């Protein structure tokens, strides 16, 4: 199950898991774009289920899990990838934008983990990967809500890992540096796209984490462009 699967890292991750033989459940807010990803995957021989979902809405997340269980009976892997960004100095930052960033990047991680976990706990296995950002650890100007949300999500990831490790559920935080995705479309000033990671870099990292042997867990990993912070 991959949230934010209609574009960027989420879309690349869907294709990477499909190439590895997984059945993929795609979640995102935009039905048309999401369905097109599912169609392309199916044309390539993969099994894919598109479930349009606002992951900040508790009822929508419940419906996502219910639909997944109806089709596949369980959830093996959850990739919390959905997220948005609004940027600007704190003095100019609107409360509605603050709430939107926190809801998308923090609350949604909690909701999806909460409602996917019962299936994993019942089976005594599972993997949750939260795709965060180096902004969880580094303060960037004009990014107060984004940095706060990612830092909170990193703390949430660590708490979750401590709560479920005894039940054989692995929890990982993936912290990418700059990635060339549509995330930057509304950011007028940004680093050189040519120097950034590609979505496929992050997707391949996520799949490799899930393919690690049962006797180990990667709890946190930073994935950076060769030049570091751009």
Q: Which residue from 152, 103, 160, 100 is spatially nearest to 129, judged by alpha carbons? A: 160
* Per-residue tokens: 56: 């900040």
Full domain range(s) for residue 113: 2-223
Q: What's the CATH number where 91 sits? A: 3.40.50.720
- Domain assignment of residue 229, yes or no: no
Determine, yes or no, domain membership for 230.
no
The reported pTM is 0.94
The tally of domains found in the chain comes to: 1
Question: Are 13 and 24 in contact, with CB atoms under 8 Å apart?
Answer: no
Q: In tens digits, what is the pLDDT along the chain, a chain of 230 residues?
A: 999 999 999 999 999 999 999 999 999 999 999 999 999 999 999 999 999 999 999 999 999 999 999 999 999 999 999 999 999 999 999 999 999 999 999 999 999 999 999 999 999 999 999 999 999 999 999 999 999 999 999 999 999 999 999 999 999 999 999 998 877 666 666 777 788 999 999 999 999 999 999 889 999 999 999 998 86
Residue 148 domain-assigned (yes or no):
yes
Gyration radius from the chain CA atoms = 17
């Amino acid at each position: 199950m991959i949230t934010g699967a209609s574009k960027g890292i989420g879309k690349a991750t869907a294709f990477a898991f499909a190439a590895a033989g997984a059945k993929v459940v795609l979640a995102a807010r935009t039905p048309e774009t999401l369905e097109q990803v599912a169609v392309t995957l199916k044309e390539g021989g993969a099994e894919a289920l598109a479930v349009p979902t606002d992951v900040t809405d508790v009822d929508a997340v419940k419906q996502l899990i219910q639909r997944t269980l109806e089709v596949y009976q369980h959830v093996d892997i959850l990739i919390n990838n959905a997220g948005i960004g609004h940027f600007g100095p704190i003095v100019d930052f609107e409360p509605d934008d603050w709430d939107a960033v926190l809801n998308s990047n923090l609350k949604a991680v909690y909701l999806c983990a909460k409602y996917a976990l019962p299936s994993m706990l019942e089976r005594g296995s599972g993997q949750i990967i939260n795709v965060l950002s180096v902004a969880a650890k580094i303060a960037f100007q004009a990014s107060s809500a984004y940095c706060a949300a990612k830092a909170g999500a990193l703390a949430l990831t660590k708490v979750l890992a401590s709560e479920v490790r005894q039940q054989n559920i692995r929890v990982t935080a993936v912290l990418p540096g700059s990635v060339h995705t549509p995330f930057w479309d509304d950011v007028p000033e940004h680093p050189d796209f040519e120097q950034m990671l590609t979505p496929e870099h992050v997707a391949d990292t996520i799949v490799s984490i899930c393919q690690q042997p049962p006797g180990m867990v990667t709890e946190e990993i930073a994935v950076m462009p060769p030049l570091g912070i751009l």
